[in-house]
């Protein structure tokens, strides 16, 4: 069984960036569960608003997870159409 770690961080981004950390984490967890991988939150730092995180580190374990990990490497571009923090 392989085990990899994924860190998602907002860096010094705004509250919207912190919200995206949470949304990306939820997508990764949901996708990993579909493939039957075990996902755990190893470490996290809550943001200044509800449902926001400055960063989160996940451990993902399972067989043949390299392709899954590669899909999530690099930067994420998230286009938001509605912003719950600014009208």
pLDDT tens for 13-34 read: 899 999 999 999 999 999 999 9
What does the domain layout of the chain look like in residue ranges? 2-71
pLDDT tens for 39-78 read: 999 999 999 999 999 999 999 999 999 999 999 999 988 8
Only one residue has tokens 């943001």, namely: 47
Quote the CA–CA distance of 4 and 32 in Å, as a whole number.
Answer: 12
Quote the CA–CA distance of 55 and 86 in Å, as a whole number.
Answer: 21
Q: Which residues pair with 53 in a beta bridge?
A: 46
The per-residue pLDDT for 84 is 83
Fold for 2-71, please state it.
Answer: Alpha-Beta Plaits (3.30.70)
């Amino acid at each position: 069984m392989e085990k990899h770690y994924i860190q998602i961080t907002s860096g010094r981004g705004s509250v919207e960036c912190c919200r995206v950390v949470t949304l990306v984490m939820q997508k990764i967890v949901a996708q990993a569960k579909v493939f039957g991988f075990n996902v755990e939150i190893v470490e996290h730092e809550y943001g200044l608003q509800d449902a926001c995180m400055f960063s989160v580190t996940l451990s993902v374990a399972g067989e043949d997870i390299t392709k899954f990990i590669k899909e999530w490497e690099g930067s994420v571009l998230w286009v938001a159409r509605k912003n719950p923090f600014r009208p």
